[in-house]
Amino acid sequence: MDGTILSSTAAAERVWGKWAEGMGLDVEKFLPTMHGRRGIDTITDLNLPGVDPTVEAEKILRGEIDDVEGVVPLGGAAEFLKKLPVERWAIVTSSPLELAKARLAAAGIPVPKYLVSAEDVTIGKPNPQGYRLGAERLGFSPNDVLVFEDVPAGIQAGESAGAEVMVITATHSHPVEGGQYRIADYRAVAPHVADDGRLSIKLR
């Protein structure tokens, strides 16, 4: 979701940056590590003495829900999603459900029929659990799913699940490895449903 159909980078980095500064972390080095992962996983991996990851993740969640300024859809994303059959796509996000809904609303994107959020998995990205669950809810094997991702943790999760990965580069400030395909955003592509029901993506 974040960085894939909408951009929440400015809002997320405001909240996480303030938290990291309060924890005495090197903010510039820390911020690139928190994108595309569950907050609790990011904080747990820091192994900060005397810090309860659950408590801190909840503080950050409240801050992110309150700050959606600058959350916008990526170019062409809303139109692209409207053309997909509603039962054939899902969001698999590291965001908690409440935050996902707040950011989708801010970006003007409806909540999809299927949404896998942080609460639905026991291990977050780069573990493939979320994408396997998303494929299951759609009724497909992960091998028949195309994952859209923008960060290394998500790309690795999609590939580990057995899916092909389309890397969205709109929010990238440096090259990201992995994935089979690349597009900047959705303005030059459109979904296509074949006579046999298979979905594909075509250049406009």
Dump pLDDT digits (tens) for 34-51: 888 899 999 999 999 999
Are the CB atoms for 129 and 123 separated by under 8 Å?
Answer: yes
Distance CA 59, CA 56 (A): 5
In the CATH hierarchy, which fold is given to the domain comprising 72-203? Rossmann fold (3.40.50)
155-179: average pLDDT? 93
Answer positive or negative: Cα dihedral of 115, 126, 69, 185.
negative
Dump pLDDT digits (tens) for 120-134: 999 999 999 999 999
pLDDT at residue number 82:
96
Task: Name which of 166, 163, 138 is nearest 77 in CA terms.
Answer: 166
pLDDT of 116 higher than 80: yes
3-state secondary structure of 41: helix
Domain locations in the chain as residue ranges: 6-66, 72-203
pLDDT at residue number 32:
87
Would you call 146 exposed, middle or buried from its count of C-beta atoms within 10 A (0-12, 13-18, 19+)? middle
